[in-house]
A and B are shown apart, each in its own frame.
Chain A
């Protein structure tokens, strides 16, 4: 069984834990961060200390994955970021962080498939609004045009490379 085919035990366990927590405490969406802190404090639990303990546990777990040469699961990475000491985010901030993380991961995934994606595009359309900017000198516009041409030729070369590999 390859690494990719192995069931993601971390995610399975995390889902089970989330289900258990939901059954005991209700949906996390029903309480906000301030309310959660109040609940913990009323039970004599220091929220910051608890956060730090979680972070230490997650950090140790992430190091175990790294030591075995395995990829650190995304959920664990997310937990490490969320529980980092000194970081306390409101729900809006957490949403913003998640949105950013999703966008960055999507872009990195696309970047990995760049040769294939470029091959599918007949003509590259570069954002080149600089050509109409009055404060740029003719030299600046020429320099940017050269970079744009270089990109276009890189794209064409990449495409040819794809084709020749395909034909071989």
Chain B
């Protein structure tokens, strides 16, 4: 079980008090939702300092409904979380759902809030309990909870018992990764994607196998005590719209 974060605690508190669709919850918090043709931000929160009154502004052109929903949840997180009231509250694409280690603390907290409110840990854990890791399973999580694929992938590794990790790479380098509690090997931000991985093939525009494949573990991880013949499973998917590839890695049968 993962440690309860501040974001998750506030999400549970809100879900206890006001369960349901966030587009209905926001007005009850004193917030109106506006979609605008912005080009430089995904979401913004304009709020009064004195009273719970304000607006959540969402970029109209966000393509996926799941990402839009996640952005809305992220901004509600900013509205509720302590310490977020005196800060910059316009969130660019890299602020929302950017799960990297370098993301700002308040953005991470808002992401954790969004992850818990949209994908409650109890429900996700039940769904993944005996399931074999796969990108298809992550897709199911994203669909069931109406959220983005990357958020679902992050959440999966946040809660999974399997030795797995999700890697988001952009332009041939690791952008961010999330390891499950049992995946002990580091995955460094900025590290190049090795040839011989399916992620590298995806970057080259080659089709990705629909099922997970075994690859030498050394093509993804470097560790002194790593056996030469050690393998891990990889399933990668190209995301051309983001110039990125998402890869699920895991160790096991």
A-side interface residues toward B, CB under 8 Å? 77, 81, 84, 86-89, 93, 96-97, 99-101, 103-105, 107-108, 110-111, 114, 117-118, 121, 124-130, 133, 135-137, 139-140, 143-144, 146-148, 150-151, 154-155
The CA-CA distance from A154 to B54 in the complex, in Å, is 10
Task: Please tell me if B130 contacts chain A, counting CB pairs below 8 Å.
Answer: no
Looking across the interface, which residue of chain B has its beta carbon closest to that of A133?
A: B90
Cross-chain contact B30 with A114 (CB below 8 angstroms): yes
Contacts of A88 in B (CB 8 A): 1
Kindly list chain A residues whose C-beta atoms are within 8 Å of the C-beta of B6.
96, 100
A14 to chain B, nearest CB (A): 18
CA distance A87 to B54 in the complex (A): 34
Q: Contact check: which of A104, A111, A143 meets B38 at CB < 8 Å?
A: A143
Stretch at the interface among B81-89, B148-156, B194-202: B81-89
Q: How many residues of B contact A (CB 8 A)?
A: 47
- Among A114, A140, A148, the one with the most B-chain Cβ atoms within 10 Å of its Cβ is A140
Contact of A114 among B9, B49, B51, B122 (CB under 8 A): B51
CB of B145 within 8 Å of the partner chain? no
In order of increasing CB-CB distance, the 10 nearest A-B pairs are A100-B13, A100-B9, A104-B13, A111-B30, A93-B4, A101-B13, A130-B90, A100-B10, A96-B9, A143-B36
A126 touches B40 (CB 8 A): no
On chain A, the residues within 8 Å of B187 by CB distance are none
Tell me the B28-58 residues at the A interface (CB within 8 Å): 28-30, 32, 34, 36-41, 44-55, 57
Question: In the complex the two chains form, is B88's CB within 8 Å of A133's CB?
Answer: yes
- CB–CB A103/B10 < 8 A: yes
Is A125 within 8 A of B1, CB to CB? no
Instruction: Give chain A's interface secondary structure class.
Output: helix
Given A86-B122, A114-B30, A140-B39: A104 and B88 interface contact (C-beta under 8 Å): no
Q: What's the nearest-Cβ distance from chain A to residue B50, in Å?
A: 5
Which residues from chain A contact B13 at a C-beta distance below 8 Å?
97, 100-101, 103-104
**A155 in contact with B53 given A140-B40, A143-B36 (CB within 8 Å):** yes
**A126–B48 contact, CB under 8 A?**
yes
Of the candidates A77, A104, A130, A155, the one whose C-beta lies within 8 Å of that of B14 is A104
8 A-B contacts (beta carbon < 8 Å): A77-B16, A99-B9, A111-B28, A114-B51, A121-B50, A130-B89, A133-B88, A147-B57
B231 at the interface (CB under 8 A from A): no
Q: CB < 8 Å: which of B51, B85, B86 contacts A121?
A: B51
